[in-house]
A and B are shown apart, each in its own frame.
Chain A
Amino acid sequence: MLRVDQVTVKRGSSFALEDISLSLAPGRTLAVVGESGAGKSTLIVTILGLVKPWKGDITWAGDSVTSCAPALVMQEPRAAFNPLLSLHRSVMEPMAARKEVASSERIARLCDGLELSRDIFDRRPGEVSVGQAQRAAIFRALIAAPTLVLLDEPLSALDAVTQKHTAKLIADLQREEGFAALIVTHDLGYAMAHADEIAVLKSGRIEEISHPEIFAKAPRSDYCRKLRDAAVALGALEISE
């Protein structure tokens, strides 16, 4: 269980995050949505322990978050890989770290679900498309059956159809393996379709945490209503009478 307890992160003299509290149980998905600069990515690096909170605690099952070896999908897909190594070396790192070898069934499962052909793994990050790099990053995050996965805009470089297939693979694996997933996204449609809870972040504060359906039908704040209407206007969400 991931617990973020009254966390405040300073940035200069202001706050990047202010009094954030949330929890995430194994097998559950929490989506964090909000405008750029709201602190979504800061939240992820803070949970990973890369940024020290000025106040508050972050724990996983009572221990530090690093103890569960969280998997991360970064926002910039190509920058997430060492440009000098083949993708194969990079995506297998989580297995190498445990001195294990991935089963061929698992590799096949991930490749099929992510629509990645095997031959791209022989290439370097600069030699594949951004979309392929993004899916390879998801591959790396999921290969070693993690217990906590943090995904920062994991679908941003994919086209609309591939987004849905990729999201389905993540959801299927989660159902079978029971990992906890924290997804940062600006796509409210994705959040609605796949998260158990949605947290709306605005200028470093949580505006609302609620169940997707409640969010869609009766957003509590003005800003949440704007977000919902925008998702409808962009076709990410359909609301029928």
Chain B
Amino acid sequence: MLSVSGLHAVRAGRTILHPTSLDIAPGERIGLVGASGSGKSTLGHVLIDELRSRGCRVAHVCQSPDEALDPLRSMRFHWHEAERALGLELGAIDKNTLFTSLKIADGDLRKRPWGWSRGMQQRFVIAMALISSPDLIVLDEPSSALDPVVAAATMDLLDQHLEGKETAMILITHDLGLAARRVSKLMVMETGRIVEQAPTEKILQHPQTRAARSLVAHRSWIKLPC
């Protein structure tokens, strides 16, 4: 169980994250949802820093692969760099299993990121995040820069890969519709605070706060009877 308390953040004299506590069970899937500027990403970063300082293994995946990969460096370079950063021997991790389960096994590692499709780049970033079988993986809007078809496939592959593993997941997103299908527990943020947290079903059925009600009301574009 990962427990942290007293997480907070101040930027330019303004409190952007009020003191916050979190408990994350192994293998748990948590959705951190809220409007733009509610402090979701900040909480993610502060949480990662705190857990890292305690020696936990935490991985982070950001919105777009452009923000994670150096266009001048080959995929193999990125992979070795990530291994070295974790203090591993080169090639110590069996990347084939990981690559196969994320469906990037046929990518050419000698190429640079822009030689791969964006969906494959993002799955490569996720693979790098999973190298060390981390205690927690934090995904910050992992699908919003991808094509819907690719984004859905990426999320499904990650779900399947994490199935039955100890690695906990925090999915940060503004889109409750996306989170609702992927996580078992939701935390709703507003102006730098977690204002509501409960199992996903419960929030979808009975949102308590204004922020949660608004997210629930607008969680999808349209409901179609079929």
Contact = CB atoms under 8 A, between A and B. Distances in A.
A238 B156 contact: no
8 contacts: A159-B175, A193-B221, A233-B156, A234-B143, A234-B148, A234-B155, A238-B177, A239-B225
A233 B181 contact: yes
Interface in A165-202: 186-190, 192-193
B35 interface: yes
Interface in B208-226: 214-215, 218-226
Interface of A: 35-36, 129, 131, 158-164, 186-190, 192-193, 213, 216-217, 226-227, 229-231, 233-241
B118 interface: yes
Interface of B: 35-37, 118, 143, 147-153, 155-156, 174-181, 214-215, 218-226
B147 A35 contact: yes
Contact of A230 (B149, B174, B225): B149
B152 A131 contact: no
Contacts of A186: 147-148
A241 to B, nearest CB: 7
A140 B86 CA distance: 50
A59 B149 CA distance: 33
A236 B149 contact: no
A161 B35 contact: yes
A188 B148 contact: yes
B116 to A, nearest CB: 14
A160 B148 contact: no
Contact of B148 (A161, A227, A240): A227
Nearest to B148: A230
A204 to B, nearest CB: 16
A238 B225 CA distance: 8
Given A226-B149, A227-B149, A230-B148, A159 B174 contact: yes
B36 A240 contact: no
Nearest to A192: B222
Contacts of B156: 233
Contacts of B177: 160, 189, 234-236, 238
B214 A239 contact: no
Contacts of B149: 35, 226-227, 230
